[in-house]
Structure 1
């Protein structure tokens, strides 16, 4: 898999900075350990699946895949992060009411630290939950688009920075 560029890379970079609190300097970028790109992508897919299961509702998700991105301030041949954004639309109207509060309450017991729970800065003031999981080396940002028709959840899962094993380069 090639490192993606353009809008997806910019969005992922901004999300990594927002979710993990890392700045552009090398020493603030959280490490996710050593991994090949395929394994890191599978790990991020697994974290996304866990978030889907936590939502606890039947519905449909968009199908974009996991992308890899360069880590700010690090060698793009050796370091990368993963990013998976998807949208959940419930099968029935109304069941998203209260789901954000339920996620806020249940995630800490599963290793997630909720670091933000507030309206975003958009005109709609969408409720946003941001959480970090130090053990999984991932962060998630879930935004409830309550005013959309039908209402949806937008989910962004991002990893810390992986380093490829000795002798490999980012695919």
Structure 2
């Protein structure tokens, strides 16, 4: 269990950095996509709506984990002023056999809804999980999706992440 958590601790920041990388537009700097001004709470609500839109594209029966968005620092920015939001969640198909269809639907449908697939293929894990990474320039968000068929309960693991926000003048970032 400690190894799995350690791998996640290393892999998640890399995935999140990849998702908010150089491919999205409206940058305030060369490395970070700037979304706009918002409170942490409003930005989290907006990102959860983006996640909900992705859920609607899955197109097979199943259930999503009940998770909330979180807030983290933007790289090389003042942590009291700038932040980005991430929303990790999982989708469990009603039938394990529907996992392939769920991933295929996302691969086909995301581009029709403003998402640009940046990467698709097996990861470097022992299980060689299929990973889809996509950016949405209009939403200034990215998604990392891993198909995990060899889990006790097969699932899609998704993390949606925003670019960097700036809090309104006179306010500080609320981390949760």
Aligned to 1:15: 15
TM norm structure 2: 0.85
Residue in structure 2 matching 1:30, options 24, 29, 33: 33
Deviation of residue 11 (structure 1)?
A: 6.3
Q: How does 1:1-171 map to 2 (within 5 A)?
A: 13-21=13-21, 27-171=30-174
Unaligned runs of 5+ in 2: 1-6, 23-28
Residue correspondences, number: 162
**Residues 119, 8 of structure 1: CA spacing in aligned structure 2 closer, same or farther, 3 A cutoff?**
closer
Instruction: Give the alignment's TM-score, normalised by structure 1.
Output: 0.87
Structure 1 residues 79, 12: CA separation in 2 closer, same or farther (over 3 Å shift)?
Answer: farther
Residue-by-residue CA offset, 1:38-75 (whole Å, 9 max, x unaligned): 11011011011011111122222222211000101000
Deviation at 1:95, TM superposition (A): 1.1
Does the CA contact (< 8 Å) of 1:128 and 1:141 recur in 2? yes
Alignment partners' CA distance in 2, 1:108 and 1:28? 24
Report the CA distance between 1:124 and its aligned residue.
0.5
